[in-house]
Amino acid sequence: MSIIPFDITCYNHLHSRFQNVFNEELINEICYNGQLKVFNTDEIIINIGDKMEYFPLIVSGTLKILTEDSDGKELLLYYLEMGDTCAVTLNLATHGSKSKIRAIAEDQCELLFLPIVKVDDWMVKYKEWRHFIMETYNYRLNEMLDAIDTLAFHNMEERLMKYLRDKAMVTGSVEIQGTHFQIANDMHSSRVVISRMLAKLEKDGLLTHSRNKIILHKL
């Protein structure tokens, strides 16, 4: 992780993404009060058990959000992209609670860490910020319900295809980098099961795979 000072690049990122959502005054406040940090691929940004003191806003890149069971096995919940935030962290930070999720950089990404006191002030001061937070809560809730539905009602083959399609959507590429072990870890499964499922999906003509790369034939 590295910290870089605020400059016009940060403003341009936010203005481009939020110019139709936030007014100029709010964008300026976000830039002025936020601390911009750069994270490398696979770097942990928020870990389970961390005390939440800041509210993260993604300026560029992609994050994956995971939870884990009592045995330490991870389960992927959803991805976050540029302009997104994890609304769960706002509730945790407001109440001084510890994180129950782990956020990992899927690729190199930039995040603005915003002071909670300012985030609370903006909820009252700016109607568009309040709407942004509420819409984020709703969207993430639906994603978590979708994850539960997938676990409860879909077989492993369907879950794997959904995982690969979701990853292709957030990366913007049908070529997916990652080992079978990494995929198994995200899906709370085993490498052997994932390798077997990938071999079957390749036989069915849905993808082509090697040790560290998967190419989807269609989304």
pLDDT per residue over 31-53, tens digit each? 888 888 899 988 999 888 888 77
Q: Taking the alpha carbons of 140, 145, 146, 150 in that order, is the dihedral positive or negative? A: positive
pLDDT per residue over 62-73, tens digit each? 888 888 877 777
What are the b/e assignments for 26-53, b being 16+ CB within 10 Å? bbebbbebbebbbbeeeeebbebebebe
CATH superfamily, domain 2-152, is: Jelly Rolls (2.60.120.10)
- What is d(CA 178, CA 119) in angstroms, rounded to the nearest whole number? 36
The CATH class for the domain spanning 155-216 reads mainly alpha
- What is d(CA 139, CA 143) in angstroms, rounded to the nearest whole number? 6
pTM beyond 0.85, yes or no: no
Domain ranges for the chain, please list them: 2-152, 155-216
